[in-house]
């Protein structure tokens, strides 16, 4: 079988499971475990228009989940999906606020301020390392990644882990649990009910 055929089969599989793949990856954000998730696609990706329609279908009527489409100068499209309640819980933590202060951010509970800051960077295909905190990564791992000398790199899972891995492992387990929860929902409910369930999350 040629490489072209393998590629074609891969694209067919991607399209077939596209919605499931998107929802599973967004499970932690939808269920409020992870404040934010970013997808990145080349603007000429075959299924980009379908994906954008999927995102609109899932979240257009949600009071909690929002999204932002960013066109970067490297011909990519970033889809930023974020959970307002998870963001506000994160921003209520004093250690997070103090960290963001050190990075020059205005301290506000307004989620859109941080998303605007992120968008202004993503346009130039730049993701500030401090935004790892909004991906739900433990603060110690974000600080370690930036280069704090007292935090040593221990291992790499879905992100680079620094210092004591216990909290990092717990966070990762919650991410995986949310993905499996979303998978189970998609496998047991009709798709329309899945979408309605997502929109009803408050």
- Write the pLDDT tens digit of every residue in 100-133: 999 999 989 999 999 999 999 999 999 999 999 9
Enter the pTM of the model: 0.91
Is 6 within the bounds of a domain? Answer: no
pLDDT > 90 in the chain, percent: 87
**Lowest mean per-residue pLDDT among 2-11, 132-141, 145-154, 178-187:** 2-11
Q: How far apart are CA 165 and CA 170, in angstroms?
A: 9
Which residues fall within 8 angstroms of residue 14, CB to CB, at 6 or more apart? 21, 47
pLDDT at position 200 is 87
Is 3 within the bounds of a domain? Answer: no
pLDDT > 70 in the chain, percent: 93
Give the model's confidence band at 155: pLDDT under 50 very low, under 70 low, under 90 confident, else very high.
very high
Q: What are phi and psi of 106, to 5 degrees?
A: -70, 135
Q: Residue 11 pLDDT > 90, yes or no?
A: no
Region 60-87 average pLDDT = 96
Mean pLDDT (the chain) is 92
Q: Residue 195 pLDDT > 60, yes or no?
A: yes
Reported as a single tens digit per residue, the pLDDT across 15-30 is: 778 999 999 999 999 9
pLDDT, greater one: 200 or 178: 178
Question: Rounded to 5, what percent of the chain is helix, strand, coil?
Answer: 55, 15, 30
Give the model's confidence band at 6: pLDDT under 50 very low, under 70 low, under 90 confident, else very high.
very low
Region 80-105 average pLDDT = 96
Is 60 within the bounds of a domain? Answer: yes
Residue 106, Ramachandran bin (φ over 0: left; ψ between -120 and 50: alpha; else beta): beta
Q: Residue 202 pLDDT > 90, yes or no?
A: no
Print the domain residue range for 142.
17-200
pLDDT at position 45 is 93
Is 151 within the bounds of a domain? Answer: yes
> For the chain, how many structural domains are there in total?
1
Is 127 within the bounds of a domain? Answer: yes
In a 3-state reduction of DSSP, which class is residue 147? coil
pLDDT at position 1 is 35
pLDDT at position 17 is 86
Q: What is the DSSP letter of 155?
A: E
* Nearest Cα residue to 20 out of 197, 185, 200, 193: 185
Is 175 within the bounds of a domain? Answer: yes
* Nearest Cα residue to 56 out of 171, 195, 190: 195
Is 4 within the bounds of a domain? Answer: no
Element (H, E) at 14: helix 3-16
Is 177 within the bounds of a domain? Answer: yes
């Amino acid at each position: 079988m040629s490489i072209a055929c393998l590629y074609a089969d891969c694209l067919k599989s991607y399209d077939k499971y596209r919605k499931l793949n998107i929802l599973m990856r967004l499970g932690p954000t939808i269920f409020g475990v992870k404040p934010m998730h970013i997808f990145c696609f080349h603007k000429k990706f075959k299924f980009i228009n379908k994906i954008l329609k999927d995102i609109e279908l899932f979240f257009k009527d949600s009071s909690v989940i929002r999204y932002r489409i960013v066109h970067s100068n490297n011909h990519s499209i970033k889809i930023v999906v974020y959970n307002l309640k998870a963001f506000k819980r994160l921003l209520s933590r004093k250690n997070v606020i103090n960290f963001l202060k050190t990075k020059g951010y205005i301290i506000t509970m307004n989620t859109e301020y941080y998303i605007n800051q992120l968008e202004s960077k993503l346009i130039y295909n730049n993701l500030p390392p401090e935004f790892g905190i909004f991906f739900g990564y433990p603060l110690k791992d974000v600080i370690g990644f930036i280069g704090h000398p007292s935090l040593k790199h221990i291992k790499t899972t879905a992100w680079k882990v620094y210092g004591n891995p216990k909290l990092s492992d717990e966070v990762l387990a919650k991410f995986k649990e949310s993905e499996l929860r979303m998978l189970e929902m998609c496998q047991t409910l009709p798709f329309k009910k899945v979408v309605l369930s997502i929109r009803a999350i408050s």
